[in-house]
Chain A
Amino acid sequence: MKLTQISVFLENRKGRLYDVCSLLGKNNINIRALTIAETESFGVLRIVVDKSDLAVKTLKANGFVANLTDVIAVEVDDKPGGLAGILKIFADSDINVEYMYGFVEKFSDNALLVFRFEDTDKAQKILTDKGLKVVTRKEIEGL
């Protein structure tokens, strides 16, 4: 199942990341996973949150530049070679990973990873076919 990732443009200014996090906190929105893509002069914050609709509305209302992207969160065996195993499946199925990052927490013994695929639908189908556990929207909301 696809999840919604929110990308936020962050200009190179002190306290800008704090501004985003504190705004989400005040609105009782919980960040489940995050990563920052940075360049020398700006950054893009990528987050998966429990209440994505509210988060986007709040961010935009407060002047942030935000955009939505489909991602998939996959459970991976938390042991050596776990990630390699799943990447092999993608490689064998000719599925291109654009970027990935880890969850802040996990809700079983498995690790949770967020993937952004070049072709999300195709990736989703392979994951289902192979019987891999993906995180549902409901699970994210109640995590």
Chain B
Amino acid sequence: MSEKMKGAKILVQSLLKEGVDVVFGIPGGMNLPTFDTLFDSPIKVVLTAHEQGAAHMADGYARASGRVGVCLATSGPGATNLVTGIGTACMDSIPIVAITGQVRTFMIGNDAFQEADTIGVTRPVTKHSYLVKDVRDIARVIKEAFHIARTGRPGPVLVDLPVDVTTNEAEFAYPDSVDIRGYRLSPVQDGDPVQIEKAAQAISKSRCPLIYAGGGVIASGAAAELTELARKTRIPVTTTLLGLGGFPETDPLSLGMLGMHGFEYANYAVGECDLLIAIGARFDDRVTGKIEEFAPRAKKIHIDVDPSSIDKTVTVDIPIVGDVKHVLTRLNRIVKAPEAGEWRTRIDAMRRKHPLIYRERSKLLPQVIIQQISEVTKGNAVVATGVGQHQMWAAQFYRFNTPRSIITSGGFGTMGFGLPAAIGAQFARPKDVVWDIDGDGSFQMTAQELSTAALHKLPVKIAIMNNQQHGMVRQWQDLFYDGRHAASIVNPTDFVKLAEAYGCLGLRVEKPAEVRPALERAMATHDRPVVLDFMVETDENCWPMVAPGKPSHQMIGTYESLKTEGAKPQYRHVPPEDEADLSLS
């Protein structure tokens, strides 16, 4: 018989068995035993300024590494502060385990101090959750929580631990395997061979095929398989926001991102294709625009690990339920390239005819700054973002070539995600360069996490596109609300002073000539966070755009409508002339 140990120790031992090396969180009354046990464990404990930051850090850690991120909070307000972060992870299928303290088991339901029905509050935003009432269940629950979080369609799992359960004692034995009868994965992982065969036939018969790849490619680690499929069949690839990095944007087959602020040619290609191959993507409304007119001419193949994603918003012809990596591996074995040379020539023409465009102005342009960040990092950084105009510009102007290089809140659209997610990513990948491309509105929602970054001397670089407003809201107000800027203009803030207050390096950048030196100084700073306060044009709009409710191939702010003398076209996905042998046609 093995020695008995306290629940908190069982928890920490279980986390170690799962390979956890860092946890993000804040101690409080109901999780003190856990923090006390972590205090002399090999697991690094990162104290955050706010529990929302802890959840986003766990999320950023998971997105950057592919491992499960862990956050901790006490009961009541600690737990409810996690909710936005858990919701963010849930919408983007990110594996995190959130461990919350709870009041003593006999107090539950009595409105005890700092009590919340955490399971109830988080039910709609978790993949699964557990209230552990018996110390003997802790090890099994942690094993199951990590298994559920990382397998199938990944997602957040919450474990609610009453404080007395963490102080009671039991023997520790970590299970070798899980057996959850309501959660079985095996039958669907590889995809139905009949359906895969049908897909291969549809591909070989198509003349205008298009791959539409999403976050599932990243989640299943299938970037190599996707690249093989595209190169073998020479089918052009557009990705969702979360799919960026799943296919190299430097590849001549890349069309970059599609959707509301996607590239014109990506959306036009969707409108004209005769076969749409959706891979780990879920036909999100920001991608499809008016749903009835999305890819209207196309037969649709849909590969997804989650059966409930199939036919949810768009009815498809060839559904394949399975893990994207497994399915693509099988598909690649049998697929043959279609005769699509003419289509590729058309796509190449579209890319030359409809580039991005901006006009340089007296003040800084976020687009130019982001392009320069892309250049100084050679596209090799991990880039976190907030939510808004800067996020869309980052998607358009940063060249994402590798999986897990963009860390952004897609489905939930959580402003304030950028800084804590970048911190989590830096903990996951200490040797890599991590940037947070942020807006001043987004940044201020979690700016206090500068203290977390400074405490750990993390060299994260925070580039704030400071337009002193919620730019995307202001853009919508200009477009759809008669230019009435209701509550979208924010108080100008001196982010250099704020950075210094937290012990970070703060740099203000006001002139175009100052951009590059500031970026290089940031890149050369390794001992603390750097905040770059870019004073940008206040009324720059993010183009092109699919207006809400319109078909995605009917865009406004197009190249044609904006091209005037002095405006600069930006060819992001056209192969250079000297790479003609790689060109599409």
A, B: real partners: no
